[in-house]
Structure 1
Amino acid sequence: MEFRRLGRSGLKISEITYGNWITHGSQVEEDAAQACVRGALDAGITTFDTADVYAAGRAEEVLGRALAGQRRESLEIFTKVFWPASGTGPNDRGLGRKHILESIDASLRRLGTDYVDLYQAHRFDHGTPLEETMEAFADVVRSGKALYIGVSEWTAEQIRQAHELARDLRISLISSQPEYSMLWRVIESQVVPTCEELGVSQIVWSPIAQGVLTGKYRPGQAPPAGSRATDEAGGAGAIRRWLEDDDLLGRIQQLRALADQAGLTMAQLAVAWVLQNSNVAAAIIGASRPEQVAENVQAAGVTLEPELMKAIDETLGDKVERDPAITATRSPVFD
């Protein structure tokens, strides 16, 4: 396993990070989830990412049980706050002081730990003054319940404003967690340059585009039995956008020859691709089987030649999404 520094902080994380969105507590049974976490640990992964909203808190609980007995100081545990994890009240969501301070305590209970290494704002809250949000995060850090602060799916300008407030409050905002893959590059023109300037790293999710970049979904064919695309409780909705374009699926099949050329599986190629971006500290992988973890970690430390990167761009062509304005649409405006 290779390790990268997160932002300009002193925290190093495994460049392959294990995440449990739409798996633990929902898509896979607990014994399978436990096996995947053991596989991640055996592969040298030390960094684990979750969120309070995943499976309404169950994902945090499963991860906490799976990591029980491990040396806490040897792990980096990340979680997030914004969406309702439980309850339907007006203060059960967003980034107001009440929700943040109550949510960190609930997350720590579910995870079975005294602190998280990184506490992330899961979306931007248009209904709460940013000053209030950052002051609440500062109190979380000063209480010892989190070491660092991050954000997820924030625009470049939102990150800049939060970073300035964090600096004034003498806390460290060191990470951004956006979607990023060969197919989804909306962060490249604005978020990445801003973060490079500020000393903020990307921890990217969906580097394999929900499994589409593995090549197992073929144009004109039904999704394989047992795949994510067939599991309405485990992410079929998230992957559907990619499966409706046979031209795209055909181009992805053409990547197989490029992966073979690099001596990689298609999944490894996809993970290695995001890690070529120097502003990316880690790629988050998920798994429903330990074998998937063992495959994906082989992307750590891989260098892709410029000619190969160019060939990938030429193959995917105009199927790549690059519009930076999309990020702003991912944070809801609550009534």
Structure 2
Amino acid sequence: MEYITVEGLQKPISRLMKGTDYFFHDSYDKAAANMDAFLAIGGNSLDSAHIYCGGQSEEVIGRYMQERGNRDQLIILTKGAHHDQNGPRVTEKDIRHDLTTSLARLQTDYIDLYALHRDDPNVPAGEVIEILNEYVKSGTVGAIGVSNWTWKRIKEANEYAAAHQLRGFTFSSPNLSLAKANEPFWAGCVSADTETCAWHEKEQFPLFSWSSQARGFFTGRFSPEVRDNADLVRVFYSDANWERLERAKQLASLKNVTAIQIALAYVLNQPFPTCALIGAQSAAELHSCDEGSLIHLTKEELDWLDLTVDKL
């Protein structure tokens, strides 16, 4: 397992981050077994959110840590301030509510990585920094970051933080995958485009990618003729992405790996620090991710996979 560091945390973060948006009370044994297997390969970071599984994701994690007595071995990324049916919730009241609720569900007194799940461009970025720094100063939160914010909003927030001697955002979690999104998977989501990636490279700003393997696009289960998954058709079906899939298959054959492992390696070989959120729910899927995380890709291979150049 490889690791990165993020300002605000002393512990290294595993580059594979365990997704927990399928952690429910009625399948606790499965979740616990998945976590045990993840720790066994050197993983230590997991991704959750206030809204996942109606709160059950965080509650299952809390139960697991209490039963195993391993809170200090884990790095928890959880998120709050997601909008609801009434609109945006990036307010001091809503952030406080979600963060306090998450702490109780997780049965812990601190959260390693705390992110705002969505943005509200009508709220000044500096105001958000002021709110979150209260939790940094109290030790309730280690590092602060964002999910589905644009790089320009992150830059605005961090310029305010620097000018006021406050902790800025030290990580971002948009979608980044070899398959490029035609449109947001969910309303308000952000995918890392060329401009975003250039900014992350320039700043060496850590990126935690959700849907890092394009929700199974590279598994071989999909083709232009297979259209039973409406969301995948809407978001990832395009001529360019079919060509990326074909190139991933070709490179996989040369390296004696699989196309989906190449897709994972694409995320983890970017010229800036990255982690990949993975949804592995079986031993075989976890083993695949573990092997894929160790594949090295050259800049030339990355460019060819991404259709920047015609020949490898």
TM-score, scaled relative to structure 2: 0.84
Residue among 270, 290, 295 paired with 2:288: 295
The alignment status of 1:141 with 2:136, answered yes or no, reads yes
Give the counterpart letter for 1:131 in structure 2. G
Larger CA deviation: 55-64 vs 99-108: 55-64
Partner of 1:18: 18
Aligned counterparts of 2:12 and 2:70: Cα–Cα separation in 1 = 16
- TM-fit CA distance, 1:282: 0.7
In structure 2, the gaps of 5 or more residues are 182-190
1:91-146 CA-to-partner distances (Å, cap 9, x unmatched) read xx522111111211100111121111111011211343333322110111112211
8 Å Cα contact 1:48/1:78 also seen in 2: yes
Partner of 1:95: 90
Residue among 204, 211, 224 paired with 1:219: 224
Give the counterpart letter for 2:206 in structure 1. S
Q: Secondary structure at the match of 1:190?
A: helix
Residue among 169, 172, 182 paired with 2:178: 182
Partner of 1:104: 99
8 Å Cα contact 1:114/1:145 also seen in 2: yes
User: Larger relative contact order (C-alpha < 8 A, sep ≥ 6)?
Assistant: 1
- TM-fit CA distance, 1:16: 0.9
Instruction: Report matched runs for 1:149-188 at 5 Å.
Output: 149-167=144-162, 168-184=164-180, 187-188=192-193
Q: Secondary structure at the match of 2:218?
A: helix
Aligned counterparts of 1:78 and 1:121: Cα–Cα separation in 2 = 11
8 Å Cα contact 2:158/2:169 also seen in 1: yes
The alignment status of 1:260 with 2:232, answered yes or no, reads no
1:69-111 CA-to-partner distances (Å, cap 9, x unmatched) read 24322221010112158xx677xx5221111112111001111
Q: Secondary structure at the match of 2:306?
A: helix
Q: Secondary structure at the match of 2:171?
A: strand
Judged with a 3 Å threshold, the aligned counterparts in structure 2 of structure 1 residues 242 and 96 are, in CA distance, closer, same or farther, namely closer
Q: Secondary structure at the match of 2:194?
A: coil
Q: Secondary structure at the match of 1:147?
A: strand
- TM-fit CA distance, 1:31: 2.6
8 Å Cα contact 2:244/2:306 also seen in 1: no
Aligned counterparts of 2:41 and 2:180: Cα–Cα separation in 1 = 27
The alignment status of 1:131 with 2:136, answered yes or no, reads no
8 Å Cα contact 2:180/2:236 also seen in 1: no
In structure 1, the gaps of 5 or more residues are 224-228, 230-236, 318-335
8 Å Cα contact 1:248/1:316 also seen in 2: no
Partner of 2:232: 239
> Identity of counterpart residues, as a percentage?
28
Give the counterpart letter for 1:14 in structure 2. S
- TM-fit CA distance, 1:183: 1.6
- TM-fit CA distance, 1:150: 0.4
Give the counterpart letter for 1:261 in structure 2. L
Aligned counterparts of 2:107 and 2:195: Cα–Cα separation in 1 = 37
Give the counterpart letter for 2:131 in structure 1. A
Judged with a 3 Å threshold, the aligned counterparts in structure 2 of structure 1 residues 10 and 173 are, in CA distance, closer, same or farther, namely farther
Give the counterpart letter for 1:13 in structure 2. I
Judged with a 3 Å threshold, the aligned counterparts in structure 2 of structure 1 residues 293 and 119 are, in CA distance, closer, same or farther, namely same
Aligned-pair RMSD on alpha carbons?
2.9
The alignment status of 1:204 with 2:209, answered yes or no, reads yes
Q: Secondary structure at the match of 1:213?
A: coil
Give the counterpart letter for 2:214 in structure 1. A
Aligned counterparts of 1:19 and 1:11: Cα–Cα separation in 2 = 19
The alignment status of 1:82 with 2:81, answered yes or no, reads yes
Partner of 1:62: 60
Instruction: Report matched runs for 1:40-55 at 5 Å.
Output: 40-55=38-53
Partner of 1:283: 276
The alignment status of 1:308 with 2:307, answered yes or no, reads no
8 Å Cα contact 1:220/1:246 also seen in 2: no
Q: Secondary structure at the match of 1:140?
A: helix
